[in-house]
Structure 1
């Protein structure tokens, strides 16, 4: 077999190689903690933003634009858009959590009656596009980070490679998981706020909670606003003076340019914001996702050049 034929096969294999979103389970920048909020907006957003300001915490919100605030027609209420704008205006970060907090698997839907199912590429794409369009209409940029509802498809030991391929194609190279899930909503609803606070304290005080890089998961509900954030402010922060609360982008060594887009679709140079997107942009840039993209393109380019040279001799 000719060397050119072999290289041509390698080239075609390179073209067929599918890029996937990368799952992040913790921060990569030492001494950083990313405080994240899922499932909102909720009607508690004004109080939550004030509590975060008082605690000196910048947060990252993974939002469902049509989940907890619906009108009688099942559409987002008039408050969802201004709430997103206020979150963004305050310097917090916004990522996608699907439009309706949909389930990726029938098992999830069975365990959560009323949830929509997005187990096909078409239904998954619809959930992403509806959400990102609403976000864009509110803040003027599209998100490029994603957190799966219930962690489906990105939970440790249960990663769905197909979902990661879909995400990447849709322009979401970053799938964000967490180190600590406070279970604030679960415990608050089942056992009351005091019990939920105690469980959150146990999570923050656990062995995992002593790491120097953390992503924590909370919700925009009363117990988080009235008890968990004040405890973090008054107890956890003073006990961890070297830890800095930052947006997810900063804790991963990224910038606003990495985690937002000016147009939908795959993340490219052409839809990367040309300037700072929010008022609190960090300066670090250790874009591991972009590096993997560049590496794939470089390999393909080298194969193309070899193929051209060999066919000319």
Structure 2
């Protein structure tokens, strides 16, 4: 009896400290194009290309980066409204393209404030809050991933990096864009020939050559032909679309509450998951958040090995069984 209790507590402890850095899609035959660091002056042109091609993408935006005036300029903010209206996903990339620190240590309060600024900006222009996050330059450790998961954000990386930002190509630094364009085109073509099950592609809409050369190359040359171009949320099978309509995660915490239940699915959409009840009220969720969030993450983990996680399927199943035994003994 004591052994079972010990094992149950031990496995529950393993689950409680695990983190999930999402590096790949889980839905087969999908390509998720993602664009970091914007919006910027080239984003409108990019949206035109995507609209004409019928492609949906995900934009990891900053509030104060290439366009410091974004937060005060309604004309520039209109781009965010267009992004959402045309079926794209908006996600957070921090306000100032940095995860705030104090004396080399992540500043939790400043992180919340940074996230809340993005949430507020996006909500004012789209009526929805973003729930996905990508770290600037992808630089994030496990402890920081866990912090963002505490804020009920899904932390996204990539598995296909075009290096469209890097002037150094094959060890040589170039002054113009030509070498980067050529390298990116060759890389994407080679990746396509691998015929992987899915792709999560990193690009930057603040780079003119990405918008004017690389994206048109993908569209006009049939790169990823036969795949479905989707948002990151769609490529993960997330029925929320990466949005919350019931509150901002960071904003809710700063206002003294818990992050809203972003896993609530409207219209009785069960996303082919029979083991999770999405009918919690917001009040119920305040009491059950940790259980519901962990279970939902584990169900997504069971769908594919595209995640980098410490939790394995055996521990998920064993923990559920042993936890039930522990409650009975």
- Tell me the CA shift for residue 57 of structure 1: 2.0
**What is residue 156 of structure 1 aligned with on the other side?**
none
RMSD over aligned CA atoms reads 3.9
Equivalent runs, 1:276-291 vs 2, <5 Å: 290-291=296-297
Q: Structure 2: state its 5+ residue gaps.
A: 250-257, 277-293, 301-312
Work out whether 1:97 is the aligned partner of 2:83: no
> Quick check: 1:212 aligned with 2:201?
no
Q: Partners of 1:123 and 1:132 in 2: how far apart?
A: 14
Report the Cα distance in structure 1 between the residues aligned to 2:131 and 2:185, rounded to whole angstroms. Answer: 31
Which residue in 1 is equivalent to 2:219? 233
Aligned residue for 1:223? Answer: 209
Change (3 A) 1:305 1:234: closer
Alpha-carbon displacement from aligned partner over 1:152-204 (angstroms, at most 9, x marks no partner): 11xxxxxx1211111111111x2211122222233399532322210111220
Match of 2:177 among 193, 218, 230: 193
Cα distance, 1:124–1:16 mapped onto 2, change above 3 Å: farther
Instruction: Report Cα offsets for 1:49-84 as digits up to 9, x if no partner.
Output: 00112233211111112222113xx95533343211
Q: Deviations over 1:263-309 (max 9, x none)?
A: 13366647735259xxxxx9965799714279999988877765564
Normalization by structure 1: what TM-score?
0.74
Change (3 A) 1:89 1:185: same
Alignment partner of 2:135 out of 126, 140, 148: 148
Aligned to 1:260: 243
Contact 1:4 1:307 in 2 (8 A): no
Residue matched to 1:127:
114
Q: 1:57 to 1:128 in 2, by over 3 A?
A: same
Residue pair 1:63, 1:97 contacting (<8 A) in 2 also: yes
> Within 5 Å, which residues of 2 pair with 1:80-95?
80-95=76-91
Paired residues of 2:238 and 2:271 also in contact (CA < 8 A): yes
Say if 2:12 and 2:323, in contact at 8 Å, map to a contact too: no
Q: Give unpaired runs (5+ residues) of structure 1.
A: 110-116, 154-159, 277-281
Q: CA 1:306–1:25 in 2, change beyond 3 Å: closer, same or farther?
A: closer
CA contact (8 A) 2:32 2:231 kept: yes
2:165 aligns to what SS in structure 1? helix
Offset at residue 227 of structure 1 (A): 0.9
Find the counterpart in structure 2 of residue 112 from structure 1: none
The question of whether the paired residues in 2 share the 8 Å contact of 1:143 and 1:260 is answered with: yes
Where has structure 1 moved over 4 Å in runs of 4 or more? 3-6, 8-13, 103-106, 266-271, 282-289, 293-309
> Helix, strand or coil for the counterpart of 2:94?
coil
Q: Tell which deviates more after alignment, 40-49 or 117-126.
A: 117-126
CA distance 1:118–1:84, change in 2 (3 Å): farther
Query: What is aligned with 1:176?
Result: 156
Aligned residues: 282
Change (3 A) 1:246 1:289: farther
Q: Distance in 2 between matches of 1:192 and 1:225?
A: 15
Q: TM-score, normalised by structure 2?
A: 0.71
Contact 2:4 2:322 in 1 (8 A): no
1:247 maps to what in 2? 231
Deviations 1:83-120 (A, max 9, x none): 111100011111111111104779xx9xxxxxxx8723
SS at match of 2:222: helix
Specify whether residues 56 and 293 from structure 1 end up closer, same or farther in structure 2 by C-alpha distance, changes over 3 A only: closer
